[in-house]
């Protein structure tokens, strides 16, 4: 199995919906083109930011297909395929693979909270069943359990497991993974605000929410860090910091979709149980976008 190592800024894509709740295919195609034109390094459809939990299987496949079609091989496409049922995760992985994804994103099983050895067994089973590189997604705030650094490093030795999206928020844990991994295994921040420190420690990039709205700046931050321009990257970090924080003023992707609506790039439509961002937060989002240069 050979695949491009994931580095730089990947956007965890929102999924645009029409007013009737159906997929807004035109807006998704336009969003993919804009992201690539702005310099994003890879795309991640059908994650939590993409509201995959509320999609039918046909919709899930269609979103990945559209992303792949519109990307036209210009960047890798990391399709979300996670489930807390290993057999369902394998079936979903095969569907996402057949839709054209180059990599798979698999969140650690949520709700049933397996022990660390169960997490390893889950990922090993997927890697043995599906011939696509896997990105492990550690997000304790959503899953209810943390993948420990030693567990991630154990899984990094399994053929087919290529990267980790680390959203534990624990910089010390991420540092341990970076220190112990081989050069072929990518360590990607799962928190926008930690992109700069994670890359300063030797990490490879970010799977970003804020880059839905500010793709060029997030891509440039990563480019500068990769090229050793720490001062330039730091300046971008502080320029984006208000948006990095405001993007999570409510549950993701509420602020991101509100921001894209303000920019005229997608309608502010979400699927229940998610609802549009509270209007009381609109001024803060506008101010952060203005500071970032996304709005005039």
The DSSP code sequence of 100-114 is T-SEEEEEPPPSS--
Which one is catalytic: 165, 184, 257, 267? 165
Q: Tell me the C-alpha to C-alpha distance, in Å, between residue 4 and each of 64, 77, 103, 126, 211.
A: 18, 11, 9, 20, 21
Cβ pair 93, 67 in contact under 8 A: no
CA 221/CA 196 separation, integer angstroms: 8
Active site residue 94: no
The DSSP code sequence of 15-68 is --B-TTSSB-HHHHHHHHHHHHHTT--EEE-SSTTTTGGG--HHHHHHHHHHHH
Which one is catalytic: 111, 137, 150, 257? 137
Active site residue 165: yes
| Segment holding 9, helix H or strand E | strand 8-12
Residues serving a catalytic function are 137, 165
């Amino acid at each position: 199995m050979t695949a491009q190592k994931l580095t730089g800024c990947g956007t965890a894509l929102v999924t645009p919906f029409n007013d009737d709740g159906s997929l807004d295919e035109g807006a998704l195609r336009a969003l993919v083109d804009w992201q690539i034109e702005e310099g994003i390094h890879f795309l991640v459809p059908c994650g939590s930011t993409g509201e995959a939990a509320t999609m039918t299987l046909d919709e899930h496949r269609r979103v990945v297909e559209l992303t792949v079609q519109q990307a036209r091989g210009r960047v890798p496409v990391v399709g979300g395929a996670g489930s807390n049922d290993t057999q369902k995760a394998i079936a979903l992985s095969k569907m996402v693979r057949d839709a054209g994804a180059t990599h798979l994103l698999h969140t650690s099983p949520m709700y049933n909270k397996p022990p660390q050895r169960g997490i390893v067994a889950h990922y090993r089973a997927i890697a043995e069943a599906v011939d696509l590189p896997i990105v492990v997604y550690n997000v304790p705030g959503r899953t209810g359990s943390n993948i420990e650094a030693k567990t991630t490093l154990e899984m990094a030795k399994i053929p087919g497991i290529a990267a980790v999206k680390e959203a534990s928020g624990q910089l010390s844990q991420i540092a341990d993974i970076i220190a112990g991994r081989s050069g072929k295994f990518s360590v990607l921040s799962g928190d926008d605000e930690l992109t700069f420190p994670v890359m300063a420690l030797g990490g490879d990039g970010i799977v970003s929410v804020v880059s839905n709205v500010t793709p060029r700046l997030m891509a440039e931050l990563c480019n500068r860090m990769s090229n050793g321009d720490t001062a330039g990257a730091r300046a971008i970090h502080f320029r984006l910091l208000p948006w990095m924080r405001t993007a999570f003023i409510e549950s993701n992707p509420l602020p991101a979709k509100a921001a894209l609506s303000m920019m005229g790039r997608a309608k502010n439509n979400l699927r229940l149980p998610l609802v549009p961002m509270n209007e009381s937060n609109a001024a803060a989002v506008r101010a952060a976008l203005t500071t970032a240069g996304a709005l005039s």
